[in-house]
Amino acid sequence: MWSDSESNLDYLNFSEIAESVVDIINTPEMLPISIGIFGDWGAGKSTILKLTETELKSQEKNYMHICFDAWLYQGYDDARASILEAIAEALVKEVEDNAGLLIKAKSLAKRVNKIRALGLAIDVGAAAFGIPTGGAVGKAFSFADDAISSDDADGEQLLQDGAEHLKKLTGKTKGLIREKEIKSPPQEISEFRKEYSELLNEIKRPLVVYIDNLDRCTPLNAIHTLEAIRLFLFLPNTAFVIAADEEMIRSAVREYHKGANERHQTDYLDKLIQVPIKVPKPGALEVRAYLFMLLASDLGIGDGNLKTLQGSLSQSLRNSWKEKPISVANLMSELTISEPKIVSQLEEALNVAERITPLLSGSSRINGNPRIVKRLLNVIKMRKRVADRRDMNLDESLITKLVIFERCASPNATMELYRQIDEGNGYSNILKKLEVDSNEEKLPEVWEHDKKFISEWIKLLPLLSGIDLRAAAYLSRETMPLSIVSNTMSSVAKELVEILLAVKSRNSPKAITEIDNIPQPDYLSVMEALVSSFRTCSDWSKRPTGFDGALILTNKDSECKDYLLKFLHTIPKQRWLVPVLKELN
């Protein structure tokens, strides 16, 4: 099985993107710079960061590197102070053999502690006594940030305004927080920038900071991390490489700065990210190469063979505009594997990958997303191991075919497939007819929406009409992960699911507003996630949690209404459900 972490080897020809980032950082006149690696959840942003770092470390030019995981600090520390501290500590370590620079680096680190202590003393301490602070430290950061981008006279005035803001607050905290402990964050931040600039100029080595996992942070922590980065903009010899879901940042800006419209969200990103780079969606050839690499690594063919395979696939991808993709036979001929069993297993695995690639790359529920592809393979491996332990005698290719159906078809279509298998005592007459002529056989109504996918899936080997599928169906239902569709949703859609599941009234203004704030293409994914939650309900004598949220969503989208209605026809009939069905019909 495969871990859900970034790879040191380039499985998707992302080296070209990493090389572009390195070229920018290697151009002295481009520093300071902030580079955004934008992509959806699981698109490979972390891998690009890792490849960039590896490429820079392999060069003669000596860089300082800091990797900052924004999610790691969430809930434990102020995100702004955390990144400042991470950078300051790295600089202390960098100059520990130079007594003069070490004093300056330690002074920089102490200033971070002052900023953190000031934040705790005001925001947390005052709040503990029920005193509204008005986001004192946040405002201080804002004053300082505005001062940074202003001319000298205006900048000085803004810093004074920040200090004045805190002086006004002192009256509220008098007697609770010692007056001598109240200091000015704008002044501390201004001094931090000054000391940092002087230190970097004396070290004479560029600093590259890699920011990852912003996708997993709350909007508050994501914005706080980005606000801290803004303090380093335009400071010497510094490059930030920030991996983020662009839509997540927009939703965080919208959440943090209430009332921010689309233009404000765009302006925020434009000011923060000087060079945006979009991670391309993998096509069929990239998905094919990715599958080949994953399956080869799982079989343990050795580092040398793995690098040979990766090199051949990367070269093939780069030449795909003028050449046919390299064949399985040619790939196998380049490898030196001494064990015949592994040779046979690898060749079989690559041929299976070749067959399933069009389905994985073409499905709207996968879209070639590397993380989803990896998780799908993990589900296959997990089921195979369970089947072997239970002596089910299930072929991995059969398990693969059913897992692909579950992943790519709708949940209702999957339920229909297993209903047919149950009623046919392990066999499906519809599958048998489809395998003979997929164009002639009329599909069940719940399969019509997935007609294109099913017509391709039915051709995938092995053919199922002559196989007793009872064991496979039992294994699938027992190990099928809930809310499997939600893995592909945007961050704002995931937030909406949580909101709708907490709704207790159909008149919830917050739910109605939040639905309007997400793109309409996400509506169906949200409804699918809600229905997946409803399937865990064992008592239908009363409405399940979040049911009213689902009804609100049906008022916004007819496809969502149809989806919920089809699900409701499968559950036990209840008195409270009668008027709901009448309304939806």
Lowest-pLDDT choice from 200-209, 323-332, 335-344, 407-416: 407-416
Which of 453, 481, 509 represents a domain boundary (last residue)?
481
Count of beta carbons in the 10 Å neighbourhood of residue 547: 23
From 37, 66, 219, 226, select the one nearest 142 (Cα to Cα).
Answer: 226
Task: Identify which has the larger pLDDT, 81 or 511.
Answer: 511
Q: Does position 517 have pLDDT exceeding 90, yes or no?
A: no
Same domain, 271 and 387: no
From 322, 311, 304, select the one nearest 289 (Cα to Cα).
Answer: 311
Query: Which pTM value belongs to this model?
Result: 0.65
Domain presence at residue 5: no
Q: Does position 568 have pLDDT exceeding 90, yes or no?
A: no
From 257, 284, 287, select the one nearest 269 (Cα to Cα).
Answer: 257
- Mean per-residue pLDDT for 557-584? 84
- Mean per-residue pLDDT for 313-325? 88
Q: Per-residue confidence at 332, pLDDT binned at 50, 70, 90?
A: very high
pLDDT digit string, tens, across residues 97-148: 888 888 988 888 888 777 766 654 333 333 332 333 344 444 444 434 444 4
Same domain, 248 and 296: no
Residue 275 DSSP symbol: E
Q: Does position 13 have pLDDT exceeding 80, yes or no?
A: no
The secondary structure of the chain in percent helix, strand, coil, rounded to multiples of 5, reads 65, 5, 30
Please state, in angstroms and rounded to a whole number, the distance separating the CA atoms of residues 358 and 125: 58
Same domain, 453 and 437: yes
From 340, 327, 259, select the one nearest 299 (Cα to Cα).
Answer: 340
Count of beta carbons in the 10 Å neighbourhood of residue 327: 12
Count of beta carbons in the 10 Å neighbourhood of residue 507: 10
Same domain, 90 and 147: yes
Cβ pair 92, 104 in contact under 8 A:
no
Which of 255, 278, 301 represents a domain boundary (last residue)?
278
Which of 247, 278, 309 represents a domain boundary (last residue)?
278
Range of the domain at 394: 371-481
Task: Identify which has the larger pLDDT, 252 or 299.
Answer: 299
- Provide the mean pLDDT of the chain: 78
Same domain, 190 and 208: yes
Count of beta carbons in the 10 Å neighbourhood of residue 559: 13
Same domain, 271 and 173: yes
Domain presence at residue 236: yes
Q: Which residue has the tokens 């064991």?
A: 471
Residues constituting the chain: 585
Same domain, 156 and 249: yes
E strand or H helix that includes residue 331: helix 328-334
AA letter at 70: A
Domain presence at residue 25: no
Domain presence at residue 37: no
Structure-block tokens of residue 528: 């699918």
Residue 75 DSSP symbol: T
Task: Identify which has the larger pLDDT, 521 or 409.
Answer: 409
pLDDT digit string, tens, across residues 352-381: 899 989 888 888 788 788 888 888 888 888
Same domain, 314 and 377: no
Same domain, 440 and 472: yes
Cβ pair 61, 210 in contact under 8 A:
no
Please state, in angstroms and rounded to a whole number, the distance separating the CA atoms of residues 215 and 249: 8
| Cβ neighbours for 465, distance < 8 A, ≥ 6 positions apart | 427, 428, 431, 432, 435
Domain presence at residue 577: yes
Residue 82 DSSP symbol: H
- Mean per-residue pLDDT for 417-434? 86
Q: Does position 409 have pLDDT exceeding 70, yes or no?
A: yes
**What percentage of residues in the chain have a pLDDT greater than 70?**
81
pLDDT digit string, tens, across residues 141-182: 443 444 444 444 444 454 454 445 444 534 443 443 344 444
Highest mean pLDDT among 77-81, 394-398, 568-572: 394-398
Domain presence at residue 467: yes
Q: Which residue has the tokens 């991670």?
A: 279
Structure-block tokens of residue 179: 């007056």
Domain presence at residue 46: no
Lowest-pLDDT choice from 216-230, 251-265, 469-483, 535-549: 469-483
Same domain, 86 and 177: yes
Q: Per-residue confidence at 558, pLDDT binned at 50, 70, 90?
A: confident
Domain presence at residue 16: no
Q: Does position 481 have pLDDT exceeding 50, yes or no?
A: no
Same domain, 180 and 229: yes
Q: Does position 241 have pLDDT exceeding 90, yes or no?
A: yes
Output the pLDDT for position 416. Answer: 86
Q: Per-residue confidence at 331, pLDDT binned at 50, 70, 90?
A: very high
Specify the number of domains making up the chain.
Answer: 4
Please state, in angstroms and rounded to a whole number, the distance separating the CA atoms of residues 154 and 160: 10
Task: Identify which has the larger pLDDT, 505 or 143.
Answer: 505
pLDDT digit string, tens, across residues 299-316: 888 889 989 998 899 889
Alpha helix locations (H) across 58-151? 79-94, 99-119, 125-128, 136-148
Same domain, 491 and 416: no
